[in-house]
Amino acid sequence: MTAPAESPLTALIVDDLANQGWSHQHLVLPADLTTALAEECRARSAAGSLAPASVGRGEGQQIREGVRGDRIHWLEPGQSAASDAYLALMDELRQRLNRELYMGLEDFECHFALYPPGAFYQKHLDRFRDDDRRAVSVVAYLNADWQPDQGGALRLYLADGEHDVQPEGGSLVVFLSAELPHEVLPANRERLSLAGWFRRRGGAL
């Protein structure tokens, strides 16, 4: 049996996660995939099918625009060729993380997120207090020609200080969900991303 082709990109992400718990890969998604995903997100927005994001889970779920102001759509397999291509890339990364770091990641959940101008997401951790399945967060950006003076950075609160990532289309940020506090700063233009989580087995505590 031959091993699947090993992509250099997933190797870099695995090394970064093992060494520092996070990874930023600039302009790594295929350009046509980034464009197709951005178009799909905008089309869903225009059709009114993005819903205000909530905070918390289960019965504790609430919509609080003072905490996060993005609008979202959860990806389902088969909803579009672009979404399926993205989910396939993520599954490749999931398998690589399991093989090399023994992470035991079982599945991936992911949503489009559209932040209107001025919207933000306050400092938070991605792992819920009452559900510890989320292990690794992956954010992919879908914004062409992002300029730093447009705001909208993802601010990571690392052990040695803050680090801002620009939401430039085609870039990926991957980090350990339970460990890295982060926030989305407001932007003066619409900001599109795909936010996703590799989950372990387990369940609500």
Give the residues lining the site for ligand OGA (CB under 6 A): 113, 121, 126, 139, 154, 167, 182, 184, 193, 195
Q: Cβ of residue 30: shortest distance to Mn ion, in angstroms?
A: 25
Closer residue to ligand OGA in complex, CB, 14/139: 139
Closer residue to ligand OGA in complex, CB, 97/172: 172
Identify whether the C-beta of residue 110 lies closer than 8 Å to the C-beta of residue 90.
Answer: yes
Closer residue to Mn ion in complex, CB, 100/168: 168
Q: Cβ of residue 102: shortest distance to ligand OGA, in angstroms?
A: 25
Three-class secondary structure of residue 81 per DSSP: helix
Tokens encoding 88: 């396939």
Q: Cβ of residue 175: shortest distance to Mn ion, in angstroms?
A: 9
Residue 80, C-beta contacts closer than 8 angstroms, at least 6 positions apart: 36, 40
Catalog residues that contact Mn ion under the rule CB under 5 A.
Answer: 126
Q: Which does 139 bind (CB under 5 to 8 A by kind): Mn ion, ligand OGA, none?
A: ligand OGA
Strand 154-158 vs strand 105-115: parallel, antiparallel, or unpaired?
Answer: unpaired
Distance of CA 170 to the CA centre of its chain: 12
Q: Cβ of residue 106: shortest distance to ligand OGA, in angstroms?
A: 19
Closer residue to Mn ion in complex, CB, 36/151: 151
Q: Cβ of residue 161: shortest distance to ligand OGA, in angstroms?
A: 18
Q: Which does 192 bind (CB under 5 to 8 A by kind): Mn ion, ligand OGA, none?
A: none
Q: Which does 113 bind (CB under 5 to 8 A by kind): Mn ion, ligand OGA, none?
A: ligand OGA
Identify whether the C-beta of residue 137 lies closer than 8 Å to the C-beta of residue 90.
Answer: no
Residue 82, C-beta contacts closer than 8 angstroms, at least 6 positions apart: 33, 36, 37, 39, 40
Q: What are phi and psi of 75, to 5 degrees?
A: -75, 135
Identify whether the C-beta of residue 7 lies closer than 8 Å to the C-beta of residue 92.
Answer: yes
Closer residue to ligand OGA in complex, CB, 136/139: 139
Q: Cβ of residue 93: shortest distance to Mn ion, in angstroms?
A: 18
Give 66: exposed, middle or buried? Use CB within 10 Å, 0-12, 13-18, 19+: exposed
Closer residue to ligand OGA in complex, CB, 96/115: 115
